[in-house]
Structure formats: structure tokens, C-alpha cells
Amino acid sequence: MPQQTGEATLVLIKPDGIKKSLTGNILTKLSETRFIIVGAKVVRVTTKLAEAHYQHLKDKPFFPDLIKYIQGKPYGPQYERVFALVYKGPGAIPKIREMAGATNPEEADSVSIRGAYGRITTKGVFENVIHASSSPEDAEREIKLWFSPEEIVGDLYPTKKVTLPAREVLEWA
């Protein structure tokens, strides 16, 4: 049975995962958990979003390269995107984290996603193919950063109604 309850976790298929054509492979692997997908979209990552997502690493020497990496800058315009997903189910945070594997792809279990597909670049950035939230606090912060309530199927966190001033939006012509 698909899991309808439980906690939610953010997964990003990073630009190297997209470039290596691993999207289908990763989705198949994650589908074996029976967790349900409650949000999914392709995102062109702004510098602001990248810096907010990785705020805990802002003092690290690799931070500038990390920001370029998550934006896909090293790979060319067609790879400047990530596939963002929210999975929900009991134990989704630790389970998907375990399937992702350790941060350093050389230390990750060889059958984990990062262990199987990750690499360390000559600049020292861990290109590890996938992001997975590491704690309930991180998951909530990250999901709220990447998704609006309207992009999530079902309820995750409390919401409020706000009226926005008139603004221009794009519609199909």
C-alpha cells in the first residue's frame, strides 16, 4: 500500500544527476520505498535560492563552487536545473537519506545513489547527484523554501491566506 501519512522530505536530483541521465533510475529506486510524491517540479535555481538552501555552509571554502554546482553552471545551459520532489511517508527522512548515502561519494555505501554515481571534482566539490533532507527541521525549512503550499498535494504544514497586490503574471497567449 502507498504510504499516505508520515513525514515529508525534500529530494533534489542535482544538475550532475540530470546530466548523467539518472533521473529515471533515481525515481525507480525511490519508488521502491512506497513513499508518495506530493510535489514535483523542474527548477532553474537562482543564486538566492541556492544560497538559502546551503546557508549552513556559507563560511566553507567550497561555498562559491557549491552554489555554482547546484545551479548547474559547470555543465552548460541545458543542465542549469534541478528536479525537486517532496516524498511523504513514515520514516521518509531517514530512509531516503540512507538510500542517498553519505555526503562524500567516496565514503558512501557503494549501492547507495551517491556511492554508485557520485564523484569528487578536481575543485574538491562533492558532485553527489542527489540532495535528501537530513532531519525533520531541515526538511520543513527546505520544503518551505522550494515549494509553495499550492504546489503540494494535500496538507503538510499550517498555511495562511494573504492578499497580494496586483502584479503581472505570464499566461499562455
**Contact footprint for ligand UDP (CB under 6 A):** 54, 57, 62, 66, 103, 125-126, 128, 131, 134
Nearer to ligand UDP, 126 or 146 (CB): 126
Give the shortest CB-109-to-ligand UDP separation in angstroms. Answer: 13
Catalytic site positions: 131
Question: Look-up: residue for cell 553519505?
Answer: 102
Per-residue contact string for residues 83-122; x = within reach of Mg ion by CB under 5 A: ----------------------------------------
d(CA 116, CA 127): 12
Residue 33 or 134 with smaller CB distance to Mg ion: 134
Q: Choose between 110 and 153: whose C-beta lies nearer to ligand UDP.
A: 110
Residues 27-66 that bind Mg ion (CB under 5 A): none
The footprint of Mg ion (CB under 5 A) covers: 134
